[in-house]
């Protein structure tokens, strides 16, 4: 019989043992207005990252021409590396805090850091100040990933989790489109001019961040996190509040199925237990997560951070027009997760993740060869990238979905942080720096070699996922990964 609230059942040296059906009640909910508002208030983080990454590429020509900064191609690549480095460290630090202090506190702290840092970027006065502010902006975004992904996973009903997660990740490209349009307008000499324009571009993120800050005020803490930390009554009130709102909106709620969870309350999870769980208990899952995130990080950060440089160096596209070529990429990237996302819940994670990674790798190889041979003009190159990123965007989004849902609740945020950090450090910091140097050769052959590295990593990730990936579609988070605090029967 279902437990209607959180009930203590025993005393235990590890902490009070209690039974609860709250996770099952969250998973059986129909999609309602609460879930839609949650997606808008939290998922918009990806939009901000897309905005930042696009701005960094779209304004690169203006940054090189700036009378104050005078950035070189290598400096542009280094700035991309600084942003990613900040995201790596921010994910690790804030991910650890998210599991200890709660999801809600951290997604306010990380957003405040982002707003401050991206606003400061607009006032950069030297190469090193620009690099520092990009680093701090990355820290805010990296911290956002851990708090946001864990919260969304823990609120979303199991049968919608794949499609929702991929679609949210796809909003990165709405931000990319905003960045592209903003750069087109603000870099136009007839408006404010390139030097003032690139500064105003970075102000877009700060303004959006302030709006998002207000949207998040109504969001509750994750009931699953509250349960683990012995705050069962508060978790019950939150879940019952969501249920009551859905009933008022005309939804009929079915009874939760399955036996209740028996959990130990705990204050925190020791680091020793965290790393034992990640790299011993779930070492195959760790390998899968690391491989998926490394491959997509290199693929995206290497190519997208330097996309504007390829257009200016090899196709002589004026820097003020770069945004027009980013828009078709943004369209392909957004449509991929949106249109393919449902298949990750219906066909399954294993097949779809492997397929999207493999297709991306093959298409990148073919496109890179055509680029190296000089067969594609700039329009054809943009179309080729749009097709590639249609599949690659779904693949990259599925990597975040994988690491967020295949590790236990107590370490979910830190697991996201650890694999994001390792994957991004390996693929995201090296990638932009390497491609900056390859483009500086002014020859297509070395750039094609870089594309081949990205393609090989995507194909390797497809194989690893096909062999060891977890079929988690339609399952509760607690079924996919048993909570560390779950009491043994």
Q: Are residues 299 and 202 in the same domain?
A: no
For the cut 50, the answer to whether the pLDDT of residue 9 exceeds it is: no
Q: Are residues 81 and 194 in the same domain?
A: yes
Strand order, beta sheet including 7-10: 7-10, 17-20, 261-264
- Which of 62-71, 191-200, 337-346 is most confident? 337-346
Domain final residue pick, 185, 217, 249: 217
For the cut 50, the answer to whether the pLDDT of residue 4 exceeds it is: no
Predicted TM-score (pTM) of this structure? 0.81
Q: Are residues 77 and 200 in the same domain?
A: yes
pLDDT of residue 173: 79
For the cut 70, the answer to whether the pLDDT of residue 431 exceeds it is: yes
Contact yes or no for 238/221 (Cβ under 8 A): yes
Rounded CA-CA distance 238/220 in Å is 7
Rounded CA-CA distance 214/216 in Å is 5
pLDDT of residue 166: 87
Burial of 65 (0-12, 13-18, 19+ CB in 10 A): middle
Judge whether 151 lies within some domain. yes
pLDDT of residue 147: 83
For the cut 90, the answer to whether the pLDDT of residue 3 exceeds it is: no
The per-residue pLDDT for range 352-409, each reduced to its tens digit, is 999 999 999 999 999 989 988 989 888 888 898 899 999 999 999 899 889 889 999 8
Judge whether 98 lies within some domain. yes
Judge whether 197 lies within some domain. yes
Contact yes or no for 176/396 (Cβ under 8 A): no
For the cut 70, the answer to whether the pLDDT of residue 125 exceeds it is: yes
Q: Are residues 206 and 290 in the same domain?
A: no
Q: Are residues 279 and 374 in the same domain?
A: yes
Give the total number of structural domains in the chain. 2
* CATH number, position 111: 1.20.1250.20
Judge whether 169 lies within some domain. yes
Q: Are residues 169 and 66 in the same domain?
A: yes
Rounded CA-CA distance 36/26 in Å is 15
The per-residue pLDDT for range 282-307, each reduced to its tens digit, is 999 999 999 999 899 888 866 766 67
Reduce the secondary structure of 151-198 to three states and give it as a string.
Answer: HHHHHCCHHHHHHHHHHHHHCHHHHHHHHHHHHHHHCCCCCCCHHHHH
Question: Of 258, 243, 277, 247, nearest to 155 (Cα)?
Answer: 243
Rounded CA-CA distance 417/461 in Å is 19
Handedness of CA 310, 312, 315, 320 (dihedral sign): positive
Q: Are residues 204 and 288 in the same domain?
A: no
Q: Are residues 86 and 196 in the same domain?
A: yes
Mean pLDDT is lowest, of 234-238, 326-330, 468-472, for 326-330
Q: Produce one character per residue of 437-449: b if its CB has 16 or more CB atoms within 10 Å, e if not.
A: ebbeeeebebbbe
Domain that holds residue 154: 27-217
Task: Calculate mean pLDDT across residues 251-277.
Answer: 84
Q: Are residues 113 and 204 in the same domain?
A: yes
Rounded CA-CA distance 24/477 in Å is 10
Place of tokens 């899968």: 288
Domain final residue pick, 174, 191, 217: 217
Judge whether 14 lies within some domain. no
Q: Are residues 297 and 213 in the same domain?
A: no
Judge whether 441 lies within some domain. yes
Measure CA of the first residue to CA of the last residue in the chain; give whole Å: 17
The per-residue pLDDT for range 26-36, each reduced to its tens digit, is 999 999 999 99
Contact yes or no for 42/148 (Cβ under 8 A): yes
Q: Are residues 350 and 467 in the same domain?
A: yes
Confidence band, pLDDT 50/70/90 cuts, at residue 223: very high
Judge whether 224 lies within some domain. no
Write the CA distances from 452 to 181, 299, 382, 459, integer angstroms.
31, 10, 18, 11
Contact yes or no for 34/242 (Cβ under 8 A): yes
Handedness of CA 208, 213, 216, 221 (dihedral sign): positive
Q: Are residues 172 and 285 in the same domain?
A: no
Judge whether 233 lies within some domain. no
């Amino acid at each position: 019989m279902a437990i209607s609230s959180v009930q203590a059942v025993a005393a235990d040296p590890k902490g009070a043992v209690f039974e609860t059906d709250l996770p099952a009640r969250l998973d059986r909910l129909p999609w309602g207005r609460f879930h839609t508002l949650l997606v808008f208030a939290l998922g918009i983080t990806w939009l901000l990252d897309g905005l930042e990454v696009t701005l960094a590429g779209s304004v690169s020509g203006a940054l090189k021409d700036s009378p104050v900064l005078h950035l070189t191609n290598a400096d542009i690549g280094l700035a991309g590396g600084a942003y990613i480095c900040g995201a790596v460290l921010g994910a690790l630090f804030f991910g650890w805090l998210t599991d200890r202090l709660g999801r809600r506190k951290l997604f306010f702290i990380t957003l405040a850091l982002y707003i401050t840092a991206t606003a400061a970027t607009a006032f950069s006065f030297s190469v090193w100040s620009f690099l520092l502010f990009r680093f701090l902006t990355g820290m805010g975004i990296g911290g956002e990933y851990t708090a946001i992904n864990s919260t969304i996973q823990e609120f979303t009903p199991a049968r919608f989790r794949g499609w929702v997660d991929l679609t949210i990740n796809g909003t990165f490209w709405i931000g990319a489109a905003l960045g592209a349009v903003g750069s087109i307008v603000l870099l136009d000499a007839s408006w404010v001019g390139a030097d003032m324009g690139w500064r105003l571009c970075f102000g877009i993120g700060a303004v959006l961040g302030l709006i998002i800050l207000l949207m998040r005020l109504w969001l509750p803490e994750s009931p699953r996190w509250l349960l683990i930390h012995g705050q069962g009554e508060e978790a019950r009130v939150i879940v019952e509040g969501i249920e009551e709102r859905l009933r008022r909106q005309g939804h009929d709620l079915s009874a939760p199925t399955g036996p209740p969870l028996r959990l130990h309350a705990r204050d925190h999870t020791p680091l020793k237990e965290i790393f034992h769980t990640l790299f011993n208990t779930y070492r195959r899952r760790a390998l899968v997560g690391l491989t998926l995130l490394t491959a997509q990080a290199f693929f995206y950060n290497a190519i997208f951070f330097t996309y504007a440089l390829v257009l200016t160096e090899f196709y002589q596209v004026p820097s003020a027009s770069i945004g027009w070529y980013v828009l078709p990429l943004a369209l392909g990237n957004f449509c991929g997760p949106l249109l393919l996302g449902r298949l990750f819940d219906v066909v399954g994670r294993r097949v779809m993740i492997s397929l999207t990674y493999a297709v991306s790798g093959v298409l990148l190889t073919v496109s890179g060869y055509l680029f190296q041979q000089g067969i594609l003009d700039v329009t054809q190159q943009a179309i080729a990238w749009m097709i590639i990123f249609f599949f690659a965007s779904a693949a990259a989004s599925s990597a975040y979905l994988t690491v967020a849902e295949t590790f236990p609740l107590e370490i979910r945020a830190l697991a996201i942080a650890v694999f994001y950090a390792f994957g991004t450090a390996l693929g995201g910091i090296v990638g932009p720096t390497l491609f900056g140097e390859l483009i500086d050769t002014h020859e297509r052959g070395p750039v094609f070699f870089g594309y081949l590295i990205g393609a090989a990593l995507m194909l390797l990730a497809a194989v690893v996922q096909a062999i060891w990936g977890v079929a988690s579609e339609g399952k509760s988070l607690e079924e996919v990964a048993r909570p560390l605090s779950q009491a043994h029967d």
